[in-house]
């Protein structure tokens, strides 16, 4: 039981997209074992409520400009023409009887509005891989999440990563994600599981009840 909780907790806070030294399709290469850029980005869930009904829809919204402040150099970087910016959207059911967490994508119906998705192959019921779309001025991802079952849940977005800019070597980047909802209903997490999530997990998740 404890091992499963740890595994899910790590998946919700760390992207599965591991940067490597392999070439991108255009021949450019990321830096091996490091990311030369580190950016802060945000997302939010709307409408913001503590209690929803079956059939309601929550929207995941994320947008950030292509010029970003790099946390490493403290300089503004034009991060246009990324080969891909990607992360994970994850879903967790919180069992109030056994005080455990369960992967729960099958209790939702998700549909991407802006961007793309693919299955998480090693945990298909945990969530989906998400891929941002590029516009002339920004990167965007938007998705609808229809609620299909009762219970206490949390959903979240992991940190993002990119293997670099097309045609440019050693331009891979990490994107530190923060969910910016003013009330993430963390009290539901504590009620269901018996403890408060650490600061890193709180930064990434949004809790709610479906009735």
User: Tell me: the pLDDT tens digits for 119-166?
Assistant: 999 999 999 999 999 999 999 999 999 999 999 999 999 999 999 999
| Domain encompassing residue 191 | 2-210
Domain count, the chain: 1
- Quick check: helix, strand or coil at residue 63? strand
Which pLDDT does position 21 carry in this prediction? 54
Mean pLDDT of the chain: 91
**Alpha carbon distances (Å) from 56 to 29, 93, 100, 157:** 44, 17, 25, 20
Predicted TM-score of the model (pTM): 0.90
* Contacts with 50 (C-beta within 8 Å, 6 or more apart), sequence order: 183, 185, 188, 208, 209
Q: What is the pLDDT of residue 25?
A: 83
Indicate the range of 4-13, 73-82, 92-101 predicted with least confidence: 4-13
Q: With contact defined as beta carbons under 8 Å apart, do 53 and 147 qualify?
A: yes
Q: What is the CA radius of gyration of the chain?
A: 17
List 42's β-bridge partners, or say none: 178
pLDDT given at position 14:
45
């Amino acid at each position: 039981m404890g091992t499963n909780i740890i595994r899910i907790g790590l998946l919700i806070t760390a992207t599965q997209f591991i940067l490597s030294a392999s070439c991108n399709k255009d021949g450019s290469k990321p830096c091996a074992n490091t990311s030369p850029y580190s950016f802060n980005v945000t997302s939010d869930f709307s409408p913001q409520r503590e209690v929803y009904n079956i059939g309601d829809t929550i929207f995941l919204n994320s947008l950030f400009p292509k010029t970003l402040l790099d946390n490493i150099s403290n300089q503004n970087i034009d991060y246009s023409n990324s080969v891909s910016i990607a992360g994970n959207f994850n879903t967790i059911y919180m069992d109030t009887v056994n005080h455990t967490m369960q992967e729960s994508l099958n209790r939702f119906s998700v549909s991407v509005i802006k961007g793309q998705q693919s299955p998480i192959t090693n945990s298909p019921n945990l969530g989906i891989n998400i891929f941002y779309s590029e516009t002339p001025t920004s990167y965007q991802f938007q998705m609808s999440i229809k609620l299909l079952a009762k219970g206490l849940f949390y959903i979240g977005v992991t940190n993002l990563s990119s293997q670099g800019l097309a045609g440019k070597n050693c331009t891979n980047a990490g994107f530190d994600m923060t969910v910016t909802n003013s009330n993430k209903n963390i009290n539901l997490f504590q009620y269901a599981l018996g403890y408060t999530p650490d600061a890193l997990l709180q930064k990434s998740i949004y809790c709610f009840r479906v009735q």
